[in-house]
Structure 1
Amino acid sequence: MEIILVPGFWLGADAWREVTPVIERAGHHAHPLTLPGLEPGASDRGRITVPDQVDAIVRQIDGVGDAGERDVVLVGHSGGGPLAYAATGLRPSRISRTVYVDSWPLGPGGVIASDMTPVDGEIDLLAWEDFEDADLIDLTDEQRDEFRRTAVPEPGAIPTTPIELADDQRRRAVPATIVACEFTPADLRSWVDGGSPVLAEVGRLERLEVVELPTGHWPMFTRPAELGALLAEAADH
């Protein structure tokens, strides 16, 4: 199986460096992705749009495996999850499963993080005190230092631009897995059943599995072996 790995905000392909060997040892092919605007040294991030990043995911889907087969597992972490869902709607016949790592799909017109404010077209990695305590569980001081050293400013339009979605019926029929890190499967179900607007699209998915990986918001740093094993298992379904 071809496993495409889409990182969340401030991260590029290297964020998956401890996860990809686990996936490869399980017999799959890992394709970690750096989205447009997240390249080190990229300039004019203010021009990068949500369609630019979604199109980059679609190009990766088109560039791997056999175009006639449903042989892609598309993984989106954090803010990369809704982008992966948008790409799922554009290539539903190629995707065997979409996996959301501490993330979930948003419905039509949803925005990833409406409370983020760009400065000069980009958003720097937040100060640690601006994150929730649950985000930072298991993230060591050394990992925090490395994350901050390598973090790339997020293109400012990505968090606040409404996301366009295609092919509602086939998109929602693609099997999905949510890897629950900062919440439990029971939490997620209660939020969906309680009518949380941000989780409305989760309730519309036809085939959803929720697996638990208790840790903070960046399991690729804090529990990479376990995350890699979960992704390989999702690909084997």
Structure 2
Amino acid sequence: MSTRENVAPVVLVPGHWLGAWAWEGVVDRLRRAGHRATPLTLPGLDPLDPRRTERTLDDQAAAVEEALRQAVDVGGTPAVLVAHSGANAPVSLVLDRHPELVGRVLWVDSGPAAPGTAPAPDAPSDLVELPLPDLEVLAQQASLDGLDADDLARFTERAVPEPGPVLTQPVVLSRRERHAVPTLLVCCSMSSAQVLELARGGHPMFAEVAALEHVDVVDLPTGHWPMWSEPDRLAEIIAAAATPTAA
């Protein structure tokens, strides 16, 4: 990891049910190595927010934009934006609206959202919130590989239900400039070969990848939450992307 002062700032956005706390291990490693790292708790994921269930994707995108602007204002360098899992929806909105704020985007076991898609398209339009599923059910939806009993206990204790409007709002994208932002796919529960094959085949989950102009991939074989199962390696990947010599 680099300790040079001109490395890009890093803004980390967690996936569904998570807050800034989910990045603690990774952020600690980045900061000890001299990186400016800002983890976010998106609107709707703060358990003390009395209007939590009313928050929307637009609210979340605005929060990411504000964090990017603050990071860029401090150092004058476009930020490295790290998006895990379901953070792909608000981060895709930000890339569409303000690509100039992002020097590189890292999708952690995720990928850019396709225009017109919603995070939970089958959810009822009047959904109020979606709690974290039982771990047995969750394991059928995403890989829990690499997580120990303490990780799972913390997850279940600190998870916040996802607001309904966040899950049902379609992602409206219109600017081609989003495709020009340099991109790194951090492939965890699915290999990079599998992800790229799905992208070439037009799979809805990765269809946008095929339209990107500058795409790199890195394999980090583990489960869907590498910030807990592989914090050292994930921090190294993020740090490398934030250094001036990163491709």
Give the TM-score category using the shorter length. Answer: over 0.9
Give the aligned partner of residue 139 of structure 1.
147
Q: Distance in 1 between matches of 2:194 and 2:127?
A: 37
* Residues 23-38 of structure 1 aligned to structure 2 (within 5 Å): 23-38=30-45
C-alpha contact (below 8 Å) 2:146/2:222 kept by paired residues: yes
In the TM superposition, residue 132 of structure 1 has moved relative to its aligned partner by 3.7
> What letter corresponds to residue 184 of structure 1 in structure 2?
S
Q: Provide structure 2 residue ranges, at least 5 long, that are not aligned to the other structure.
A: 1-7
CA displacement 1:17-74 (0-9 Å, x = unmatched)? 1001221233320000011111122223331111011111111111123389442011
Give the aligned partner of residue 161 of structure 1.
169
Deviates more, 1:47-56 or 1:25-34: 25-34
Give the aligned partner of residue 194 of structure 1.
201
**What secondary structure is seen at the aligned counterpart in 2 of 1:37?**
coil
Aligned partner of 1:206 among 204, 213, 225: 213
Q: Distance in 2 between matches of 1:166 and 1:124?
A: 31
Please, what is the CA RMSD of the aligned residues? Answer: 1.9
**Does the C-alpha gap of structure 1 residues 24 and 67 become closer, same or farther in structure 2, counting only changes over 3 Å?**
closer
Q: Distance in 1 between matches of 2:235 and 2:79?
A: 16
Give the aligned partner of residue 48 of structure 1.
55
Q: Distance in 2 between matches of 1:82 and 1:70?
A: 24
Structure with the bigger percentage of helix? 2
Aligned partner of 2:20 among 2, 10, 13: 13
Q: Distance in 1 between matches of 2:129 and 2:52?
A: 6
C-alpha contact (below 8 Å) 2:127/2:165 kept by paired residues: no
Give the aligned partner of residue 70 of structure 2.
63
In the alignment of these two chains, the number of paired residues is 236
Q: Distance in 2 between matches of 1:196 and 1:77?
A: 19
Q: Distance in 2 between matches of 1:40 and 1:125?
A: 14
Q: Provide structure 1 residue ranges, at least 5 long, that are not aligned to the other structure.
A: none
Q: Please report the TM-score for the alignment, with normalisation by the length of structure 2.
A: 0.89
CA displacement 1:143-183 (0-9 Å, x = unmatched)? 11111111111111212211122422x11100011110011
Q: Distance in 2 between matches of 1:116 and 1:149?
A: 24
